[in-house]
Amino acid sequence: METILNSEIFSRVYSEQPDLKSKISSKVKAIASDLVMDGLGLSPEDRSRLVNEVDVIINCAASINFNDPLLDAIQINYFGCMRLLNLANECKNILTFTHVSTAYVNSNLR
């Protein structure tokens, strides 16, 4: 989690809002899971915590290895997202489920 929060991409917003990093750190927690497992491989304690406390889910997990066997890619990219959406539907306080897709990524390399 620290690697993400210390990323250069946040430097401007941290300079404008110096206390933001500590606010994020107090609210965002990493929880181990596995997109290809039923129930996302979550422990009962973690699942209960998510169902009772989470109000925002951002799914940006995917395999972008275009050499993956098709069934593996579908298991991760499609069914993994569906498993997360099912979890979101269980969450008592969910406000939003956001899915970040690589389907239309276009680089402006010149």
Domain that holds residue 9: 1-29
What is the DSSP secondary-structure string of 44-57? HHHHHHHHHH--EE
Residues 78 and 67 in one domain: yes
Q: What is the pLDDT of residues 24-70, one digit of tens each?
A: 888 888 888 999 999 999 999 999 999 999 999 988 888 888 898 99
Do 94 and 57 contact (CB within 8 A), yes or no?
yes
User: Cα separation of 75 and 67, whole Å?
Assistant: 14
Q: How many CB atoms lie under 10 A from the CB of residue 85?
A: 13
Residues 35 and 25 in one domain: no
Residues 7 and 53 in one domain: no
Number of domains in the chain: 2
Could you tell me the CA-to-CA distances from 30 to 33, 49, 102 in Å, in that order? 9, 12, 22
Q: What is the pTM of this model?
A: 0.76
